[in-house]
Amino acid sequence: MRKTKKNTAIILAGGTGRRMRGDVPKQFSFLGGIPVIAYSLNVFDSCEEVSDIVVVCHPGYLEDMERLVFGKDIRKPVKVVPGGETRQSSSFSGLENCPPDTDYVLIHDSARPLVSRATITSVLEAAIEEGAAGPAIDTTDTIVEQAGAFISGMPDRTVLKRVQTPQAFRFNIITEAHEKARETGINDSSDDCGLVIAYGGKVKVVRGDSLNIKLTSSLDLELAECIIRKGFGKDIETRSKVP
Ligand code: CTP
Ligand code: MG
């Protein structure tokens, strides 16, 4: 991969983790002895393809986040910026705060602390080839459509995938998709790949990682603890490095 590209990682931590029901938003919850967001910071900081990091934080927690981020030994230039009311507006805030010469962005949910370097590299490489890319995994459950109290359909599972983050984009592709969405009054899209597709763009699918779970409820936090304790994942040492 050419080193001359400027690839900025945007780590989204603008939510409040309502479904987790914790005392603090889930990005600040402790996992394996360190805050959830520290995992994403560590792994993006350790990727040589990544040049800069932008952390998008809930406006009510900026000081806590700055203390956490600047108290760590992060080697890359890092900024902490306020997010918005929806994931989409936080993602847009991240894009607005990228260094102006950014070529590619990797947009990542801090709620996925177990992301591996291998996933980051493969998503970025695919975006450099195709313009946009996202990691996806198969659905193991049969998925059904429900109408009222009954099953109304059973879509073909082989074409249904579960998309994860980080998602990577050529900078102009994702900023244009966000700008178009805002112009047409769409403010609550939950996925950046979805915005690119909505405006006619193509997104390459790369192989996701079933260990890259999204922490949604407290059960997921326990599951992540188990994954870490078992030492699953190739570069878990890097990710769980104590600051
Ligand atoms: N996110 C964000 N800004 C928002 C909402 C969400 O940056 N206004 C981020 C979250 O911090 C999280 C990611 O988007 O890392 C995925 O969102 P989700 O899992 O829904 O997190 P929360 O919105 O915090 O959780 P909940 O929906 O349960 O309140
Ligand atoms: Mg949410």
211-235 average pLDDT score: 88
pLDDT tens digit sequence for 35-89:
999 999 999 999 999 999 999 999 999 999 999 999 988 999 999 999 999 999 9
Give the number of the ligand closest to the Cα of residue 220.
1
Residue 243: is its pLDDT beyond 90?
Answer: no
The verdict on the CB of residue 15 being under 6 Å from ligand 1 is yes
- Provide the pLDDT confidence category of residue 232 given band limits of 50, 70 and 90: low
Query: For residue 2, how far is its CA from the centre of ligand 1 (angstroms)?
Result: 33
Query: For residue 241, how far is its CA from the centre of ligand 1 (angstroms)?
Result: 24
| Global pTM value | 0.95
pLDDT recorded at residue 242: 46
* pLDDT cut 90: percent of the chain above it: 90
Cα–Cα distance for residue pair 185/140, rounded to 1 Å = 35
Query: For residue 146, how far is its CA from the centre of ligand 1 (angstroms)?
Result: 26
Residue located nearest, by CA, to atom 23 of ligand 1: 15
- Provide the pLDDT confidence category of residue 173 given band limits of 50, 70 and 90: very high
The verdict on the CB of residue 16 being under 6 Å from ligand 1 is yes
Residue 1: is its pLDDT beyond 70?
Answer: no
Tokens of 70: 């600047």
Please report the atom of ligand 1 found closest to the CA of residue 20: 28
- Provide the pLDDT confidence category of residue 235 given band limits of 50, 70 and 90: low
Residues 50/9, Cβ–Cβ less than 8 Å? yes
Residues 17/11, Cβ–Cβ less than 8 Å? no
pLDDT tens digit sequence for 91-110:
999 999 999 999 999 999 99
- Provide the pLDDT confidence category of residue 4 given band limits of 50, 70 and 90: confident
193-199 average pLDDT score: 97
Cα–Cα distance for residue pair 115/224, rounded to 1 Å = 11
Beta strands 30-31 and 34-35 are antiparallel
| CA dist 171 → 73, 124, 200 (Å) | 27, 12, 16
Q: What is the mean pLDDT of the chain?
A: 93
CATH code of the domain made up of 7-239: 3.90.550.10
Alpha helix segments (H runs only) across the chain: 36-45, 62-70, 87-96, 117-130, 171-183, 192-198, 218-230, 236-239
Beta strands 7-13 and 52-57 are parallel
The verdict on the CB of residue 7 being under 6 Å from ligand 1 is no
The verdict on the CB of residue 27 being under 6 Å from ligand 1 is yes
Task: Give the residue, out of 11, 12, 44, 114, with the most ligand 1 atoms within 8 A of its beta carbon, to mutate for a pocket test.
Answer: 12
pLDDT recorded at residue 93: 98
pLDDT recorded at residue 238: 53
pLDDT recorded at residue 239: 52
The verdict on the CB of residue 111 being under 6 Å from ligand 1 is yes
158 secondary structure, DSSP code: G
Q: What is the CA radius of gyration of the chain?
A: 18
The distance from CA 102 to its chain's CA centroid, rounded to whole angstroms, is 18
Residue 234: is its pLDDT beyond 70?
Answer: no
Residue ranges of domains in the chain: 7-239
Q: How many CA atoms lie within 13 A of 22 on its CB side?
A: 21
pLDDT recorded at residue 12: 98
Q: Which residues, by Cβ under 5 Å, contact ligand 2, an ion?
A: 15
Task: Give the residue, out of 87, 108, 164, 193, with the most ligand 1 atoms within 8 A of its beta carbon, to mutate for a pocket test.
Answer: 87
The verdict on the CB of residue 164 being under 6 Å from ligand 1 is no
Where does 102-157 show beta strands of DSSP type E?
A: 104-109, 132-138, 145-147, 150-153
Give the number of the ligand closest to the Cα of residue 25.
1
Cα–Cα distance for residue pair 105/209, rounded to 1 Å = 20
pLDDT recorded at residue 229: 87
pLDDT tens digit sequence for 9-38:
999 999 999 999 999 999 999 999 999 999
